[in-house]
Amino acid sequence: MPKRVFSAVMFILLLANMLTLVLNIQPVKASGTIYIRADGSIDPPTAPIYTADNITYTLTGNIPVGADGIVIERDNIVVDGAGYTVTGSGNGNGTTLTDRSNVTVRSMTIKNFEYGIFLDSSSNTTLSGNNITANNYCGIRLGYSSNNTVSCNNVSNNGGGISFSSSSNNTVSGNNVANNGWGIGFGNSSDNILSRNNFANNGYGIELGYSSDNNVLSGNDVTANNGRGIGLVYSSNNVFHHNNFINNTQHVHIENTGYANSWDDGYPSGGNYWSDYNGTDADHDGIGDTPYIIDANNIDHYPLMIPNAIPEFPIFFILPLFMMMTSLAVLVYKRKNK
């Protein structure tokens, strides 16, 4: 074969191989833990995570690991899953933050670990738009962590949904927590806000235990939980209003009747909707004429006659989905223009 023809053929084959690599980018399999180090570096550097500024870190492929997933050691960053999946082998944590501040973890699927996302002694973090499923013990755990936001996540089919231990001043909103061994459990955690969440088909929906006081729960759907909708153990001064308690095996279980909590927002704002309330509404103001009595210290004085309208869960995914698609578009643009 003439040298020119041979060279041309080899050049064409080289271009074809390069094009194939570009169009079929495969995730780098990681057998061990991936770290975002305090200095901004990614360890190992072959991990499928891209950053241009050491502030926003974007996954570029699925990450199967045999230990912990991603350990974040740097503050003031965003970790964008871009819709990719971090899969474990049943042990460790999908994402770990210890002594961290101002970190956002978003748009990531995390499955098959012991804990999906594990926060310890961390503050001002945001967990948003993640899909956390099939983790053996707990989807999201916060321990000794304050002033964090957990919003718009799907937490389903885990050993347990969300766990708070000695954590305060956190906001949990717009999450779908369904089909877990339990929905959300608090231990020694106070001054937190739970709003517009869906707790459905769990072993129990919500548990406030052991001095979990002064929490506010409003506008939540607590539906068809097998054990109980809400359990309270040695917890008082919590506020519940505009929640829907529908078809739970037991709506409320209180371990110690001497602990008082508030179950309404006064008149005419009203209290909660209870699917087993059999009172009347003679003046048609939407509020029952008789209280819903849980025990002597826990009474909804203004039960709602119809369920409180809560936006459907998928609405809360619009912003995370937009952010994910924007990040993906930026990543593709950067690769094409290298």
**In this model, does residue 185 exceed pLDDT 50?**
yes
For 330, phi then psi, to 5°, come to: -65, -40
Closest to 203 measured CA to CA, from 227, 222, 178: 227
Q: Is the dihedral of CA 116, 205, 163, 80 positive or negative?
A: positive
d(C-alpha 94, C-alpha 19), whole Å: 33
Closest to 198 measured CA to CA, from 181, 172, 177, 229: 177
In a domain, 332, yes or no: yes
Structure tokens belonging to residue 310: 């809560």
The amino acid at residue 231 is G
Is residue 111 within 8 Å of 134, Cβ to Cβ? yes
For 258-301, the pLDDT digits (tens) are: 899 999 999 999 999 999 999 999 999 999 999 999 999 999 99
d(C-alpha 298, C-alpha 221), whole Å: 20
In a domain, 85, yes or no: yes
For 133-177, the pLDDT digits (tens) are: 999 999 999 999 999 999 999 999 999 999 999 999 999 999 999
312: domain CATH number? 2.160.20
Mean of all residue pLDDT scores within the chain: 87
pLDDT tier at 61, thresholds 50, 70, 90: very high
Strand 115-120, strand 292-295: pairing:
unpaired
For 193-232, the pLDDT digits (tens) are: 999 999 999 999 999 998 999 999 999 999 999 989 999 9
pLDDT of residue 67: 80
Total-model pTM: 0.83
Range of the domain at 51: 30-336
Strand 138-143, strand 63-64: pairing:
unpaired
User: What pairs with residue 131 in β-bridges?
Assistant: 109, 154
In a domain, 41, yes or no: yes
What is the average pLDDT across 106-132?
98
In a domain, 7, yes or no: no
CB atoms within 10 A of CB 101: 14
Residues 6+ apart with CB under 8 A from 148: 119, 122, 123, 124, 125, 126, 127, 142, 167, 170, 171
For 302-318, the pLDDT digits (tens) are: 999 999 987 654 434 44
Structure tokens belonging to residue 241: 């209003």
pLDDT of residue 210: 84
pLDDT of residue 32: 83
The tally of domains found in the chain comes to 1
Q: Calculate the CA 186 to chain-centre distance.
A: 15
pLDDT of residue 277: 97
Structure tokens belonging to residue 79: 């970790």
d(C-alpha 212, C-alpha 209), whole Å: 6
In a domain, 101, yes or no: yes
pLDDT tier at 335, thresholds 50, 70, 90: low
In a domain, 13, yes or no: no
For 26-44, the pLDDT digits (tens) are: 444 445 899 999 999 999 9
d(C-alpha 247, C-alpha 276), whole Å: 8
Closest to 71 measured CA to CA, from 109, 33, 115: 33
Q: Which residue has the tokens 């053929």?
A: 9
Specify the 3-state DSSP secondary structure of 123.
Answer: strand
